[in-house]
Amino acid sequence: MILKPQLQDFKNIGYYSGRIIVGISLTMLVPMVVGLLFGEINPALDFLIGAEIALFIGLILTRLCFTKKDLNWMQGMVVVSLSWLAAMLVGAIPLYLSGHWGSYLDACFETMSGFATTGLTLARDIDHLSYAHNLWRHLIMFIGGQGIVVVAVSSFAKGLSGAFKMYVGEARDEKVLPNVIYTARFIWLVSIVYLILSTLVLGTVGIANGMKPVNAFFHGACLFMAAFDTGGFTPQSQNMLYYHSLAFEVITIVIMLLGAMNFNLHYRIWTGDRREIWKNIETRTLSITILLTFLIVVIGLSQVGSYPSALIMFRKGFYQLISGHTGTGYSTIYARQFIDEWGNLAIVGLIIAMALGGGACSTAGGIKMLRLGVIAEALKQDVRRIILPERAVVEQRLHHLKEIFLEDKQVRAALLITVSYLVLYGIGTLIGMFYGYSFLESLFESTSAAANVGLSCGITTPGMAAGLKLTYIVQMWAGRLEFMSVFTLIGFFVAVVKGK
């Protein structure tokens, strides 16, 4: 028998969702102030209006649903999944008011892409977008990479138990530190330190390449926020191709790899345990998959003869591969070049890289290296059981921050999420084909959306069908949250309708 949710369930969900919406409204003050500093009055007003609407909604929810009770697991999961949808809806308001998005749906697509660190865009004329709106696009990517709930629990969480339930619902099932609030604050510490250092480096390179100092450091900050949070937005419509700089490309490769690393691994490095880099199953698996997928890409590109020299292969082939594998979405080629110049084999190699993603408890999307490593180790274990005598005892261990004995529940969990991703990739592919695109194009775009990558082969444009826009929004949302909180939300609605 399905139990119908009680009034207290709705009050808890509404109250905590309201607090998160209030937090989002306050972040809109940052681009509003930047707009005022640059003399952008209308953009500043866009964010003032957006902040007021979000604050009003948030305060209404916290007043109507006021409670002192903590969240249980179901409520925490529902709060997370609803908060991301609410963030999309209110975050889209200032973008839509700018006039650079053709509809409110397009602006919602942009904000979901930003919060989910995907990088697919429907913006029109980015090159003439205000500083304020451009900053907001990258700031929501920075917030989404760390996690909307991480922002909330690191600043005004009301209880450790409820905080952890929201934290897990946001696809972060590992705590760096024993206290989840301290974990969230450590994640922000790492991100802000890297932000300052990388902005200085990228800004300096920009000045050396002839950019004005203000523009150089603004671009540096935006590029870091999108690269470290494995997003893919840039301040210019040509993406990384705009800069025509090998130095920019090398630096962003390093930042993208840092963003794809587990925050637990960052903690180990920061505390001096650098050996963990080579011992950890995630980094080993990532190294192997990068080599294998790049080999596929190189063979495919060599067949069609697109990039004859090693340097061009690095800047056009390897850069796209790392961008796809880390889930970033930065590109040094135009979208249609994937279809026109890469050939089928190279595209398949890139699609595999996008589907696999980066590290668990990182800003990257996709299946994740830890799950792939667990499945590979389980396969090895089963092969040994077949080969060895029946009486032989087979125990499989893997190293992820510590020595772990492989258990069936770990393998089942890894397989469940992996299959869920594969199904999501497939559904998006079928819908893309329904709208008239080829199988390979549809698979490319679907994988990019669901794995929160942001590379495009040309399907994602302001003129694409509304049904496809909605499909990719759902894919970005479900892929970023890694399904469990989404499944819980669906179950919650079923209980509301059918529960007794």
Tell me the pTM: 0.91
Residue 16 counted as domain residue: yes
Residue 45 counted as domain residue: yes
- For residue 80, the SS3 value is helix
Residue 470 counted as domain residue: no
339 in Cβ contact with 457 (< 8 Å): yes
Question: Closest Cα to residue 149, out of 190, 176, 181?
Answer: 181
Calpha distance 490→477 (Å, rounded): 14
Q: What is the mean pLDDT of residues 223-249?
A: 92
Tokens of 281: 């199953």
Tokens of 104: 């409110």
- For residue 176, the SS3 value is coil
- Range of 200's domain? 7-259
User: How many domains does the chain divide into?
Assistant: 1
Residue 427 counted as domain residue: no
Mean pLDDT of the chain: 87
Tokens of 280: 């950890």
Position 156 pLDDT exceeds 70: no
pLDDT digits (tens, 9 = 90+) for 320-371: 999 999 999 999 999 999 999 999 999 999 999 999 998 887 888 899 998 8
Position 477 pLDDT exceeds 50: yes
Calpha distance 121→32 (Å, rounded): 22
Helix axis angle, 148-156 to 160-169, nearest 10°:
170
DSSP one-letter code for 402: S
Residue 116 counted as domain residue: yes
Residue-level pLDDT at 335 = 92
H or E segment and range at residue 399: strand 397-399
Where is pLDDT greater, at 386 or 372?
Answer: 372
Position 200 pLDDT exceeds 80: yes
61 in Cβ contact with 80 (< 8 Å): no
- If one counts every other C-beta atom within 10 angstroms of the C-beta of residue 106, the result is 21
Q: What is the mean pLDDT of residues 394-402?
A: 70
Question: Closest Cα to residue 416, out of 485, 483, 489?
Answer: 483
Percent of the chain with pLDDT over 90: 58
How many residues make up the chain in this entry?
A: 500
Residue-level pLDDT at 157 = 47
Lowest mean pLDDT among 33-42, 309-318, 449-458: 309-318
Q: What is the mean pLDDT of residues 74-90?
A: 90
Tokens of 214: 């203000």
Residue-level pLDDT at 391 = 65
Residue-level pLDDT at 71 = 78
- If one counts every other C-beta atom within 10 angstroms of the C-beta of residue 484, the result is 20
Calpha distance 293→291 (Å, rounded): 6
The greatest distance separating any two alpha carbons of the chain, rounded to the nearest whole angstrom, comes to 77
Tokens of 92: 């889209």
Where is pLDDT greater, at 392 or 28?
Answer: 28
Calpha distance 122→108 (Å, rounded): 10
C-alpha distances (whole Å) from 48 to each of 41, 97, 406 are 10, 11, 52
289 in Cβ contact with 325 (< 8 Å): yes
97 in Cβ contact with 49 (< 8 Å): yes
Residue-level pLDDT at 160 = 44
Tokens of 202: 């990228």
Residue 310 counted as domain residue: no
Residue-level pLDDT at 159 = 46
Going by pLDDT thresholds of 50, 70 and 90, the confidence category of residue 393 is low
Residue 69 counted as domain residue: yes
Residue 478 counted as domain residue: no
The region, left, alpha or beta by phi > 0 then psi within -120 to 50, assigned to residue 438 is: beta
Residue 90 CB partners (closer than 8 Å, separation 6+): 21, 24, 25, 50, 53, 54, 57
pLDDT digits (tens, 9 = 90+) for 274-303: 888 888 888 999 999 999 999 999 999 999
pLDDT digits (tens, 9 = 90+) for 19-30: 889 989 999 999
Calpha distance 330→340 (Å, rounded): 19
